[in-house]
Amino acid sequence: MRGAPGPLFEWLVPRTLRESNTLLGAAVFGLVFYGVLALTLLGWAGAGVRGALRDLLSVVHGEALVANGIVLLLWSPSRLAQRLAREREQDTLPALRLTGLGGLSMALGFLGSALVLPAVLLVVTSPVILAGAGGRGGPAAPLRAYAVLLLLAVVYHLVAGVVGLASKKAQNAGGTTVFVVLVLLGLGAAFRVPGLEVLGVLGPWGAALASSGAEQFDIPILGVSVAGEPVQLVTLALLAAVLLRALSDRLADERAAVLVGAPAAAGLAALGAALAALTYEPFHADPSRAVFLRLLALGLAAAPLALEAPARFVDLARGAARRDPDDPPFPDERLDLRRLLPGPLLLLGGALLLGLQLPSGASWGLRTGVAAAVLVTTWTFAALLLQAARLLSRDRGSPVIVVVLALAALWCAPLLSSAGLRNLAFDERLTELPRLLNPAYALHLACTTRPVGGHDPLALATACAAVHALAALGAGWLVRQGQRRVTELVGSLVVLPADAYDAPGTLERRCPRGHLHAAVWATCPHC
Amino acid sequence: MTAIRASNLWRFYDGAPAVRGLDLAVERGSAYGFIGPNGAGKSTTLRMLATLDRPDAGRVWLEGRDVQRDLRGARRRLGFMPDPFALYDELTVEDHLLLFAQTYGLPPSARRRAVDRAIELTRTQEVRARRCGALSKGWRQRALLARTLVHDPPVLLLDEPASGLDPAARIEFREVVRALRELGKAIVVSSHILTELSDFCDSVGIIQQGRMLVSGRIDDILRRLDPNEQVQLDLPGDAAPARALLAAHPEVLEVRDGLGAPPGTARLLAVLRGRATPEVRAALVRALVEGGCAPCGVSATREGLEDLFLRVSAGSRGQDVRGASALRQVLDGDGGADREGAPPAGAAR
């Protein structure tokens, strides 16, 4: 295959195409699909509505779209997830890595082979797809719908790949992928809720309804309503690029990643922040709710970056252990403050972009500034706490889970305690205070213009930012403690034949000449 | 030329060290045996040498180049045979090798030739058309070795390659490794069975609890560790009285059963405290004759590598075994504090 994107693609795609399972799958699918189509035609002919040919073509277009959608978005991604999980389980990925294949080459190989059968099924249904051009959506309807569907399929496959590689067991990977895909489809369906049109980019619904002529699919961009499909295509292309990076990184296994790795998380956060800020509709008499939702989306978009930005203990130890001048630490082996910069920068940029679209009255400039401060301090606190956890525990996954649960408890428990205080008929001024710990509530306060419990809401939101800033200082101190542990460990990583009976860092005895040694030795083995 | 070199390798799992400050150097055209009990850190070390695990500290050079600085280049210059086996069960042996020939970037014209060569070297002709999933363990191991060789790497890392093979397959496997060594490849083979390695390795390293206890050419190790001399005695009939007599003799440190006794006799090995001089041998024979256990055969031998391995590993566990303190001296004399200097202040608790 000339011009194939890598040897794995070149090997897998033709083989998958030649496999008997592919041909069998295509035959069964074709039989079922055309059987259903025949029933539709019979029903249409029997109903005596031959005049409405455009309606019929719209219906068959919808049937083909649903059939291909199920294969492309649900079945095939779950198979890819299972395959990658199995490769990981059987330890064949390291063998591929050892061939010198890059992560991108591997990702494209697996992605290509996963898309072979769906592509064959598209060919099988192609006459019906073309017939859809005569439906109510117009001649370009199939093109628009399938362009979205194909790009969406690529994105879903890439998500499935990441899920598959993160799954510990192959048998769980398929089910987890189906769940994730259903969540994405559900989010995509929320495009019909006013203000949430932008979520339509995550699912096929908007494009599908528009292509069958049933409904308009528009997304507001900087206050102007534009056709949804182009926006969706651009967004999906960017999303695919980011996720391809994530999958490549995970396949190459050369970077530490909680789920998608720092570069991909930065990409996802940037994309999410841009969508949250750019799709604000400035038509509201009271923009509080719309602004709050967008600020919340901004914070959620930056959350994965906080998970991925912290450095791991082992990487820092590795970097610190590189003492030769010709062996400088790799970038992921340094605890550099620049690792934590993208989060706040994205949050500030998104808030600024949003603030520029807000009305000049009602102190919206100040309010956006306070909301940005809440977002930045909260993100920094969370990122530093995660960094401290990753330095104080050498485990890969559990410190992250513990911190996420702790943060969830820290932010949600005050809401309960506030409700409890209110039930106990405490003074309203008092009941508001615990809720200050919840950044989402603080964002709400920053966006509302009404006094809350007798307090100035802006002052309460500012207090929330201040509390998180102080907490971030505390987390920073924990990070310093973690750094000291790294230094201590690295200090003990020297070749000392006599320390064979204890782990470095746990040596207990020190001789008068300063040599550390294990307690098993009665006298210093070095002296 | 040094094909692969590692310096001060460390690897931790869940905070506990699996490999501690390990040094290693293997020349081209030589085979290095990596011996240690299960869980000693052999596989971890090989995975680090193979670039699959990053060392927590330390460096690995492949043909003079730091592997972490040139990961892809390093990977193409080495062949790693892991344990357990990772094969694509649904592919035939030939297809499996073709896939890897392709992913290693061999040009189309060279792939088939490379596969044929690997199959010939590993003598897997009779299973080339069979699915990997249908192969027995021995054949799977050979198929895996063929995959390791398909791109003709100058450095081979073989992790427990002969585990689970029957005796005939082991002998064949040794021949394959010898042939590869003669082709100029640097080979690192790990095993927990010493005799398996002593036949075809030039050098060995004994690893325990993640730490290299002894490393070097087999002759050098034997000389440095000053193996005990022993007297081999063949006795007609029951050996129990002779065993008691020998154990009571002041020159004898330990009495063991010997293997390969002629039919109708029992063989005992009397491990001596000192040298097996003719006088000592005569004294032992005299003691046996006086005790009514006249031997029918007497010869002097030395402890083998396997005996030394047992002694070294016992000494490293702090057991009261003769030679443990001498071993510590040998180890300290190897370098240790003198070579690396005193531990830094940062290590203080």
Which of A242, A264, A269, A263 is CA-nearest to residue A379? Answer: A269
Q: Are the beta carbons of B341 and A494 separated by less than 8 Å?
A: yes
Q: Give the H/E segment covering residue B213.
A: strand B211-217
Task: Identify whether the C-beta of residue A482 lies closer than 8 Å to the C-beta of residue A388.
Answer: yes
Count of Cβ atoms closer than 10 Å to residue A417 Cβ:
14
Q: Which of residues 195-214 of B touch A (CB under 8 A)?
A: 208-209, 211, 213
Residues in chain B predicted with pLDDT less than 70, given as ranges, are 223-227, 303-308, 310-349
For chain A, the first-to-last Cα distance in angstroms comes to: 67
pLDDT in tens, B149-179: 999 999 999 998 887 777 888 888 888 888 8
- Give chain B's largest Cα–Cα span: 78
Instruction: Please report the pLDDT score of residue A369 as a whole number.
Output: 93
Count of Cβ atoms closer than 10 Å to residue A67 Cβ:
19
Residues in A closer than 8 angstroms to B66, CB to CB, are 327
d(CA A104, CA A248): 5
Tell me the whole-structure pTM to 2 decimals.
0.81
Nearest CA in chain B to A526: B337
Task: Identify whether the C-beta of residue A173 lies closer than 8 Å to the C-beta of residue A85.
Answer: yes
Nearest CA in chain B to A102: B72
Count of Cβ atoms closer than 10 Å to residue A152 Cβ:
26
**Which stretches within chain B are classed as H helix?**
42-49, 71-76, 93-103, 108-122, 137-149, 167-182, 194-198, 218-224, 240-248, 278-290, 305-316, 324-334, 337-340
d(CA A358, CA B3): 66
Q: Give the H/E segment covering residue A131.
A: helix A126-131
**B51 to chain A, minimum CA–CA distance in Å?**
8
**B153 to chain A, minimum CA–CA distance in Å?**
11
- Report yes or no: B73 at the A interface, CB cutoff 8 Å: yes
Q: Are the beta carbons of A91 and B82 separated by less than 8 Å?
A: yes
d(CA A316, CA A487): 9
- Paired tokens of A57: 């073509």
Instruction: Please report the pLDDT score of residue B348 as a whole number.
Output: 28
**A339 to chain B, minimum CA–CA distance in Å?**
21
pLDDT in tens, A176-212: 999 999 999 999 998 888 878 889 999 999 888 888 7
Chain A interface disruption, residue of B23, B62, B349, most A CBs within 10 A: B349
* Range with lowest mean pLDDT among A66-70, A161-165, B107-111, B313-317: B313-317
Instruction: Please report the pLDDT score of residue B193 as a whole number.
Output: 73
Q: How many residues comprise chain A? A: 527
Q: Are the beta carbons of B211 and A497 separated by less than 8 Å?
A: yes
Residues in B closer than 8 angstroms to A520, CB to CB, are 318
pLDDT: which is higher, A72 or B8: A72
Residues in A closer than 8 angstroms to B50, CB to CB, are 98
Q: Would you say the ipTM is above 0.95?
A: no
Residues in B closer than 8 angstroms to A507, CB to CB, are 347, 349
- Report yes or no: B316 at the A interface, CB cutoff 8 Å: yes
Which of A320, A325, A337 is CA-nearest to residue A484? Answer: A320
d(CA A293, CA A290): 5
Selecting from A90, A494, A520 the residue whose C-beta is nearest the C-beta of B21 gives A494
- Report yes or no: B12 at the A interface, CB cutoff 8 Å: yes
- Report yes or no: B15 at the A interface, CB cutoff 8 Å: yes
Q: Give the H/E segment covering residue B81.
A: strand B78-81
Q: What is the DSSP string of A21-83?
A: HHHHHHHHHHHHHHHHHHHHHHHHHHHT-TT-HHHHHHHHHHHHHHHHHIIIIIIHHHHHHHH
- Tell whether the model's pLDDT for residue A29 goes beyond 80: yes
- Paired tokens of B10: 């460390």
**For chains A and B, what is the number of CB pairs under 8 angstroms?**
158
Cβ within 8 Å of residue B107, ≥6 positions away: none
Per-residue pLDDT band at A298 (split at 50, 70, 90): very high
- Report yes or no: B34 at the A interface, CB cutoff 8 Å: no
d(CA B258, CA B270): 9
Q: Are the beta carbons of B336 and A495 separated by less than 8 Å?
A: yes
Instruction: Please report the pLDDT score of residue B93 as a whole number.
Output: 95
- Paired tokens of A224: 């102007």
- Report yes or no: B108 at the A interface, CB cutoff 8 Å: no
**B262 to chain A, minimum CA–CA distance in Å?**
43
Instruction: Please report the pLDDT score of residue A3 as a whole number.
Output: 52
Q: How many residues comprise chain B? A: 349
Cβ within 8 Å of residue A247, ≥6 positions away: A103, A107, A111, A158, A161, A162, A165
Count each helix (H run) and each strand (E run) in chain A, helices first: 21, 4
Q: Which is it for the CA torsion B36, B40, B43, B49, positive or negative?
A: negative
- Paired tokens of B21: 């400050």
- Tell me what the pLDDT averaged over chain A comes to: 86
d(CA A5, CA A238): 19
Selecting from B54, B75, B316 the residue whose C-beta is nearest the C-beta of A100 gives B75
Instruction: Please report the pLDDT score of residue B36 as a whole number.
Output: 84
Find the mean pLDDT for residues A425-449: 83
Instruction: Please report the pLDDT score of residue B321 as a whole number.
Output: 38
- Tell whether the model's pLDDT for residue A525 goes beyond 70: no
Nearest CA in chain B to A519: B318
Q: Are the beta carbons of A500 and B10 separated by less than 8 Å?
A: no
Residues in A closer than 8 angstroms to B72, CB to CB, are 100, 102
**A160 to chain B, minimum CA–CA distance in Å?**
22
**B17 to chain A, minimum CA–CA distance in Å?**
6
- Paired tokens of B297: 């055969």
Q: Are the beta carbons of A507 and B349 separated by less than 8 Å?
A: yes
pLDDT in tens, A248-263: 999 987 556 778 888 8
Q: Give the H/E segment covering residue A264.
A: helix A262-278
* Range with lowest mean pLDDT among A151-155, A156-160, A249-253, A320-324: A320-324
pLDDT in tens, B19-35: 988 888 898 999 999 88
Which of B50, B42, B55, B39 is CA-nearest to residue B7? Answer: B55
Instruction: Please report the pLDDT score of residue A48 as a whole number.
Output: 62
**Residue labelled with tokens 């099924």:** A121
Q: Give the strand pairing for B78-81 and B155-159.
A: parallel
Q: What is the residue type of B235?
A: L
Helix axes A20-47, A7-18, angle to 10 degrees: 60
**Residue labelled with tokens 């006799």:** B265
Is the bond leading into B84 cis (omega within 30 degrees of zero)? yes
3-class SS at B208?
Answer: strand
Q: What is the residue type of B204?
A: V
Residues in B closer than 8 angstroms to A498, CB to CB, are 328, 331-332, 336-337
Selecting from B51, B54, B209 the residue whose C-beta is nearest the C-beta of A318 gives B54
Residues in A closer than 8 angstroms to B23, CB to CB, are 495
d(CA A308, CA A295): 21
Q: Characterise B14 by phi-psi region: left (phi > 0), alpha (psi -120 to 50), beta (else).
A: left
Q: Which is it for the CA torsion B248, B250, B254, B260, positive or negative?
A: negative
pLDDT in tens, B183-198: 899 999 998 777 777 7
Q: Characterise B341 by phi-psi region: left (phi > 0), alpha (psi -120 to 50), beta (else).
A: left
Instruction: Please report the pLDDT score of residue B345 as a whole number.
Output: 30
Nearest CA in chain A to B73: A100
pLDDT in tens, A474-514: 999 999 999 998 888 887 776 544 343 444 444 567 778 77
Cα–Cα distances in angstroms (integers) from residue B92 to residues A207, A375, B98, B113, B192, in the given order: 45, 56, 10, 17, 31
Residues in A closer than 8 angstroms to B334, CB to CB, are 497
pLDDT in tens, A344-400: 999 999 999 998 888 777 688 888 999 999 999 999 999 999 999 989 876 666 788
Q: Are the beta carbons of B15 and A503 separated by less than 8 Å?
A: yes
Instruction: Look up residue A70 and give its DSSP letter.
Output: I
Selecting from A95, A327, A513 the residue whose C-beta is nearest the C-beta of B66 gives A327
Selecting from A7, A318, A496 the residue whose C-beta is nearest the C-beta of B337 gives A496
